[in-house]
Structure 1
Amino acid sequence: MKNKTVVRSMDILNLFIDHSALTFQEIIDLSHIPKTSVYRMLISLEEMGFVEKGKDSKYRLGLLFLTYGNLVSSRLDIRQIAYPIMLDLHEELKEAINLIVKQGDEAIYIEKVDSYQKVRLYTAVGRRSPLYAGACSRIILSFLQDEEIESYLSNVELNSFAMGTIIDKEILFESIQNARKNGYTISNSELENHTSAIAAPIFNHRGEVIAGISIAGIEANYQNEKVDIFAKKVIDAANEISEKLGYLI
């Protein structure tokens, strides 16, 4: 049974994925947690170094997260291997480049390069999405073992996030089949309206899909011949990362 205080504390910390700084009242409004509970938890989180209160009376993530973040980063070999390849791809295409890994029935973004991307996208490091929604998530789903895919499709409830989210299981299965045939998948307005992404799978030395890499940006840039160009680029990048992880192409 989950500890209610711990769960609520995590709910507060998760607010900072999308917000760099929040006032006490904003935390209450966004979390829907009673004022007295928020107050107690913020004091505890501040004492432990998870959050800090600035002179502007706004709360931010504490320096302790830098320590944890550096530890996690140093232990994610795939992130270290992928980053320079992602950087080169971003420099060439000027589109956002995302790296995502599977965590349960979800995918989590562990790296992003978007210096030249003027429009803020749904994707952000630490953000999660279901495996069926978005190119980068679905590319991982598409290359799981057949029995894993069957089990997932049997149990998942498809919910809409944006106007292009796939909510029909037959269409989802068709998308998975196309991804396996083409080596990439594409999404349009699935997690956020008017955005697109093209993703390819990353494999480990055992031939298991362990991550996905995507090129993402505004939907208008992902039309006609651009699809073939971006698809080839992202497949080449994914293959290069896979090779460095010991996968024999």
Structure 2
Amino acid sequence: MQSKNKTLVRAMDVLQLFVGHPKLTLNQMTALCGIPKTSVHRMVHSLEEMGLLTKESDGAYRLGLLFLHYGQLVAERLDIRHAALGVMRGLRDEIGEAVHLVMREGKECIYIEKLDTDQPVRLFTKIGRKAPLYAGASSRVILAFLPEEERERYLADTELAVIGTGTITDKTKLRHALQQCRQSGYSFSRAELENYTAELSAPVFNYTGGIAAALSIAGLEVRFDDRSIPELAERLKRAAAELSYELGWNGSLTS
């Protein structure tokens, strides 16, 4: 474990050099960081394979485009969390259930913000929790509004495993649920990620009309009866639309 930590620290030392230098050769990196050239060569090769460094035609290296991708993700998530908090507070106070903000991360979704409720018995969801895109209302909202080709590729490549008693594991049923979500503008799940819980979720769109996040209310299943769902869904959709407009959405969707 210590050797791994040492290697990681050395790799970060190499990357840190690029804060003050747009381009560096292997010799320059070796001279600046004081690490043996053979070690620098190995680390730079690994960093290049991972997309963290890019080698140019003159043999020098610069930071890879992967940093731009990470930077955009961080900026987007910070911006959307900041924009969402007011909407989330209003929704939480109006409905009295926990409110979640969820974004996609590869083949999963990740909970990036949560406002709890004052209910004596509550659903505990940690920020940073992940779930597969096929399970749970928020995941399904994100999957439903992905471009069709991307959505179908995910469905073809993914095995649907049981997580909770209500998890959908039949792809025909899942496709039907996704279609219903696109038509109604919301998704509802019972016991898909945790037994005895329910989640109601609506899409949040960005300025391009693409799916940016999912906004949801969640709690114990007994508090979500069938008669209350339509009204709760309309309140949730209004809040999600408000957040979408704050992100620059003009009301239209990408195809």
TM-score, normalising length: structure 1 = 0.69
Q: Within 5 Å, which residues of 2 pair with 1:229-244?
A: 229-244=231-246
Match of 2:102 in 1: 100
Match of 2:174 in 1: 172
What is the number of residues matched between the two proteins?
182
TM-score, normalising length: structure 2 = 0.68
1:122/1:192 contact within 8 Å kept: no
1:73/1:79 contact within 8 Å kept: no
**How far has the Cα of 1:121 moved from its partner?**
2.6
Matches of 1:106 and 1:203 in 2, distance apart?
A: 18
Instruction: Between 110-119 and 75-84, report the one with greater CA deviation.
Output: 110-119
Indicate which of 136, 150, 157 corresponds to 1:134. 136
Question: Cα–Cα, structure 1 residues 232 and 173, in superposed 2: closer, same or farther, change >3 Å?
Answer: same
**How far has the Cα of 1:122 moved from its partner?**
5.5
Match of 2:164 in 1: 162
Percent identical among aligned pairs is 45
**How far has the Cα of 1:119 moved from its partner?**
3.3
**How far has the Cα of 1:223 moved from its partner?**
1.2
Indicate which of 175, 194, 197 corresponds to 2:196. 194
Match of 1:210 in 2: 212
Question: Cα–Cα, structure 1 residues 75 and 226, in superposed 2: closer, same or farther, change >3 Å?
Answer: closer
**How far has the Cα of 1:91 moved from its partner?**
0.8
- Residue 125 in 1 paired to residue 133 in 2? no
Matches of 2:225 and 2:141 in 1, distance apart?
A: 19
1:122/1:191 contact within 8 Å kept: no
Matches of 2:102 and 2:77 in 1, distance apart?
A: 15
Gaps of 5+ in 2: 6-73
Cα-to-partner distance string for 1:88-134 (whole Å, 9 max, x where unaligned): 11111110100000000000000001132433436320000000111
Indicate which of 82, 85, 88 corresponds to 1:83. 85
Matches of 2:133 and 2:152 in 1, distance apart?
A: 13
Match of 2:66 in 1: none
Gaps of 5+ in 1: 7-71
Question: Cα–Cα, structure 1 residues 74 and 183, in superposed 2: closer, same or farther, change >3 Å?
Answer: closer
Question: Cα–Cα, structure 1 residues 94 and 154, in superposed 2: closer, same or farther, change >3 Å?
Answer: same
Amino acid at match of 1:188: R
Match of 1:48 in 2: none
Question: Cα–Cα, structure 1 residues 5 and 177, in superposed 2: closer, same or farther, change >3 Å?
Answer: farther
Secondary structure of the structure 2 residue equivalent to 1:86: helix
Matches of 2:164 and 2:175 in 1, distance apart?
A: 19
Amino acid at match of 1:157: E
Matches of 2:223 and 2:86 in 1, distance apart?
A: 24
Matches of 1:197 and 1:81 in 2, distance apart?
A: 22
Match of 2:111 in 1: 109
Matches of 1:228 and 1:212 in 2, distance apart?
A: 18
